[in-house]
Amino acid sequence: MNGLEDDVVSLLSELVRIPSVCGEEYQLASFIHGWLRRNDLPAELAPVKPDRPNVVASLKGHKPGPRIMLNGHIDTVEPGNGWVHDPFGAENENGRMYGRGTIDMKSGLACILWAAAKCKREGLPRRGELIIAAVVDEEAIDLGTCALIRNGLTSGLDFAMVAEGTGLQVVTGHRGRVVFEVEVHGRTAHSHSPERGINAIDETVVLLDALHKLPNPTHPRMGGCTLNTLKVEGGQEKVMLVPDRCRLVIDRCIVPGYSSQQALTDLTALIHELRIEAEAKLIDRETPFCEPFEIPDSDPHVQLVSNAVSRVLGQKPEISFHEGPCDSCIIVSESGVPTIEFGPTGGRLHEAEEYVEIESVRKTAEVYLEILKTAFE
């Protein structure tokens, strides 16, 4: 092949025009698989769930060298209502491309695909190994990236990069996320004599009113933790009965230095302090929760990425963090691999009229190419 099949913006347009709502990623995975193969990158579809494959490609040099993974998720949230532009139209207007997934994160995905194909065309890597992973399910419970780890693809990595939209900043830290389920117990009684029972819903209200007492560790860059009540359910309405059960679901984003287990310990201690009969636990899910992390600014991989950004953009990038979790947290916590994020500028992710700044996509693609050239030449 004499050149790339698509430039990065054209490739992004094609990705956006293929709907890939979380759980329905097969069509886009198939397209990416074909695109990589047409650009001479050996790629495979790696099943995660039925009709939900990751796409994985590997390029190996002839000499020993670094092993690097570039990771991007192919799933999006639902388009929802309120759009002026077609959510799957990839419409360009005033330097922006509009569409579901433009910034979260098909633009970053297009950049790493394009950079990998460009490397292949230029005979890279001459040493080491480049792994490209386009994964499913990041918007839900990170099944795709967990499958990479389970299948050994993160073993021996020197570092990884995730191409989430970062506004052209180098992101080296993340809040994590944990979800708790609390089962509050009461004692049944007839409604005409509620004093003979213990109303589990009333007990839950006492706990809700006291949640502000939970420790809220802070981080110099990321600020404090968050707390959000996702669900309260219990009781019934047909029988005159004091409810003896209520279920509460609590969502917390947590900062580095404060683990999900410590947050659970603190929640359990509060329940005991209030003398409420209840059990708290991590909500059941197939995959681990995203623990918070921070890669030191002095890490050599942070310096490699920052220097590449400086050369492309002509100025030193800001070192920043993300407030919410993503696949980076899984890679760091479950495989111990230093993980850095870099991606384009955009806005309205998970909202109507999601967009990406087109020029930032071109710059991001050039940054990834510069990183790979530096690492693999």
Q: Splitting the chain (377 residues) into consecutive groups of 10 residues, what average pLDDT does each group show?
A: 71 98 98 96 97 97 96 98 98 98 98 96 95 97 97 96 97 95 97 95 98 95 94 94 97 95 97 98 94 95 97 96 90 96 97 98 98 93
What is the CATH class of 176-282?
alpha beta
Q: Which residue ranges make up each domain of the chain?
A: 8-174+292-376, 176-282
Question: What pLDDT is recorded for position 190?
Answer: 95
Cα torsion for 297, 300, 304, 306, to the nearest 10°?
Answer: 10
At 377 the pLDDT is 81
- Predicted confidence at residue 324, as pLDDT, reads 80
Homologous superfamily assigned to 8-174+292-376: Zn peptidases (3.40.630.10)
Alpha-carbon span 248 to 243, nearest angstrom = 14
* Per-residue pLDDT at 5: 62
The pLDDT, as a whole number, for residue 2 is: 41
- pLDDT reported for residue 4: 61
Residues 6 or more apart in contact with residue 282 via CB below 8 angstroms: 178, 179, 180, 181, 260, 264, 289
8-174+292-376 against 176-282: fold identical = no
- In whole angstroms, how large is the CA radius of gyration of the chain? 23
CA quadruple 109, 113, 114, 118: dihedral, nearest 10: 150
β-pairing, 355-357 with 223-224?
unpaired
The answer to whether the beta carbons of residues 90 and 6 sit under 8 Å apart is: no
Q: Which residues of 251-260 are buried (b: 16+ CB within 10 A; e: fewer)?
A: ebbbbbebbb
Residue linked to tokens 């009709």 = 51
- pLDDT for 345 equals 98
The reported pLDDT for the residue numbered 1 is 37
273: CB partners within 8 A, 6+ apart: none
Q: Collect all residues with Cβ–Cβ distance below 8 Å to 218 and sequence separation of at least 6.
A: 224, 225, 255
For CA atoms 46, 162, 15, 121, the dihedral sign is negative
Distance CA 62, CA 199 (A): 70
